[in-house]
């Protein structure tokens, strides 16, 4: 977990350096063509920076959840401040004040992340259980090689029921990895691909989008039915994740395929709001990944 917080601090530094560079270059030079896609970079970095919020859904880390969420929200505010700053000329009073405000937000971010790191360090020093539940990269490699390429020697001592549960976890984890790829494809297809298709071909690309979505819903049904033994919980998560995802895709498609089609305008706020609806499905996949770690840690 300490590594995750250190990674967050590094991502945070990259986020602000990227922001300041973008604000400087955007206001000093003409950004056009493929370089204009740079405007999306703060948004994607922001998504990656949610790793601590993601990890804090675990009960052991509830003490950092509020700080982690506030840290992410501050970075979101900084992103919008930065974009607003680029609407003014470099060196203008408004530009300088906005950049100063962003620097203040950055300072608070750094303070929060140092605080989160200290909390996690103290927690781990007192309770080793948290670290013990996480597989190292080397352990994951050995487990996967043993399970898929060798004779499953590491699991030879398991009882029949335990072996069945383990096989189930491996299946769910594999499907979960594939569903994460599908989520990425759905987001890119709903935004960049639809925009590239233009008004003439947007309907054709919309049909392809529906096909990808149908495939995702199908594998999600299989994934969750294997993971949740409680049928009520299965239905609850299935309905929540799918409805939320459909709403997110709908928002993104309306923006890119109808409102801003055949224009050079990119509404970052719409991208952000649309992506928020992808989060429940992403959190479910993270829960499945953590279960994979915990179950396999027992057999090492």
Same domain, 34 and 113: yes
CA distance 55 to 158: 29
Same domain, 12 and 87: yes
CA distance 172 to 296: 13
Q: Which residue among 101, 131, 161 closes a domain?
A: 131
Render pLDDT for 221-275 as a digit per residue (tens, 0 to 9). 999 998 888 889 999 999 999 999 999 999 988 888 888 776 766 677 787 788 8
Same domain, 240 and 148: yes
Number of folded domains that form the chain: 2
Is the pLDDT assigned to residue 35 strictly greater than 80?
no
Render pLDDT for 46-78 as a digit per residue (tens, 0 to 9). 777 765 555 555 545 666 778 888 888 899 889
Which pLDDT score is estimated for 61?
Answer: 61
Contact, 76 vs 83, CB < 8 A? no
Q: How far is CA 107 from the centre of its chain?
A: 24
Higher per-residue confidence, 39 vs 172: 172
Distances, alpha carbon 90 to alpha carbons 7, 27, 31, 132, 268, in Å: 32, 5, 14, 51, 21
Same domain, 234 and 266: yes
Same domain, 210 and 73: no
Same domain, 127 and 148: no
Q: Which residue among 131, 156, 190 closes a domain?
A: 131
Q: Which residue among 93, 111, 131 closes a domain?
A: 131
Same domain, 126 and 217: no
Query: Minimal CA–CA distance to 223: which of 289, 160, 149, 275?
Result: 289
Same domain, 274 and 171: yes
Domain housing 110: 2-131
Same domain, 47 and 114: yes
Higher per-residue confidence, 145 vs 10: 10
Sequence-distant (≥ 6) Cβ neighbours of residue 293 within 8 angstroms: 133, 134, 135
Neighbouring C-alpha atoms within 13 Å toward the C-beta of 40: 14
- Angle of helix 41-48 relative to helix 2-28, nearest 10 degrees? 170
Same domain, 204 and 117: no
Same domain, 188 and 80: no
Same domain, 26 and 101: yes
3-state class (DSSP) for residue 57: coil
């Amino acid at each position: 977990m300490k590594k995750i917080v250190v990674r967050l601090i590094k991502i945070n530094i990259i986020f602000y350096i990227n922001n300041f560079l973008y604000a400087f270059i955007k206001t000093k030079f003409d950004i056009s063509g493929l370089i204009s896609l740079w405007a999306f970079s703060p948004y994607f970095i922001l998504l990656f920076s949610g790793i601590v919020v993601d990890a804090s859904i675990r009960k052991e880390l509830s003490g950092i959840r509020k700080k982690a969420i506030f840290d992410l929200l501050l970075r979101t505010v900084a992103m919008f401040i930065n974009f607003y700053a680029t609407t003014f000329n470099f060196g203008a009073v408004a530009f300088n004040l906005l950049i100063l405000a962003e620097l203040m937000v950055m300072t608070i971010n750094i303070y929060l992340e140092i605080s989160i790191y200290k909390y996690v360090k103290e927690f781990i020093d007192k309770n080793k259980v948290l670290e013990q539940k996480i597989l190292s990269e080397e352990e994951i490699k050995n487990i996967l090689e043993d399970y898929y390429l060798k004779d499953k020697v590491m699991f030879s001592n398991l009882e029949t029921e335990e072996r069945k549960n383990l096989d189930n976890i491996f299946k769910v984890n594999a499907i979960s990895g594939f569903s994460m790829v599908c989520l990425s494809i759905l987001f890119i297809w709903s935004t960049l691909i639809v925009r590239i298709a233009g008004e003439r071909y947007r309907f054709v690309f919309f049909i392809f989008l529906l096909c990808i979505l149908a495939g995702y819903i199908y594998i999600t049904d299989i994934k969750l039915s294997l993971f949740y033994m409680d049928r009520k919980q299965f239905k609850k998560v299935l309905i929540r994740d799918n409805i939320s995802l459909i709403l997110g895709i709908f928002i993104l498609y309306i923006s890119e395929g109808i409102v801003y089609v055949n224009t050079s305008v990119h509404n970052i706020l719409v991208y952000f709001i649309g992506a928020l609806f992808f989060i429940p499905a992403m959190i479910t996949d993270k829960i499945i990944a953590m279960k994979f770690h915990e179950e396999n840690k027992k057999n090492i």
